[in-house]
Each structure stands twice: as C-alpha cells, then as structure tokens.
Amino acid sequence: MTAGMGIIRLVLIGMAVYIGYSLLRKIFAVNGGGKVNQRINRLVQDPQCKVYVDPQYAVIKKVNRGEMFFCSEECAREFLKGSGKGG
C-alpha cells in the first residue's frame, strides 16, 4: 500500500508550482514597476541654418511676428538681412 507517496508527490509539485509562480510575480513586479520618464528640453529651430537650439542659450531677436531664436548672432544678422529685403 503506497497511497501516501502519491499525495506527497502531488503536494511537492503543488509547492513547486506555487513557489515558481510567486517568484515570477516578484520578478515582473520589479521590472514593470518603474516608468521611464524622460524630460526633453523644448528646442527651437534656427530659421537661418535650421539647427535646433536650447532657447536658454539662443540668440533672441524680436521681429514683427514675435521672437525668433538663433544659434548665433551671425545667423540672426543674416536672417534679418535676408528677410528685410525684397519681402
């Protein structure tokens, strides 16, 4: 009569499945917990050379339409010179 052995085996298999399942849940909880939150500075485009610049460091020129951002004084000068003539 070895009826008891079958029950022990079932219990062991059940425990193994339970432990494996809880481990998997822990792993996924750790990996899926953090949200990637990238904050990108809003960049402005230099209309003269089409380069993107941080407005904090840009050369700002006031024009009819508002403010324009340039990567350098040279670009600002070139752009204003070009737009001023001929329209």
Interacting residue with Zn ion among 44, 68, 75, 76 (CB under 5 A): 75
Q: Which of 45, 47, 49, 78 binds Zn ion (CB under 5 A)?
A: 49
Two tokens, residue 64: 């009819």
- Select 18 or 52, whichever has its Cβ closest to Zn ion: 52
φ/ψ of residue 76, rounded to 5: -60, -45
Give the total of residues touching Zn ion (CB under 5 A).
Answer: 5
CB of 32 to Zn ion, least distance (A): 43
**Residue 46 makes contact with Zn ion by CB under 5 A:** yes
| Half-sphere exposure of residue 54: CA atoms within 13 angstroms, side-chain side | 4
Please choose, from the candidates 21, 57, 30, the residue with its C-alpha nearest in 3D space to the C-alpha of residue 41.
57
Query: What is the rounded CA–CA span in Å between residue 40 and residue 63?
Result: 27
- Cβ nearer to Zn ion, comparing 22 with 73: 73
Binding site for Zn ion (CB under 5 A): 46, 48-49, 71, 75
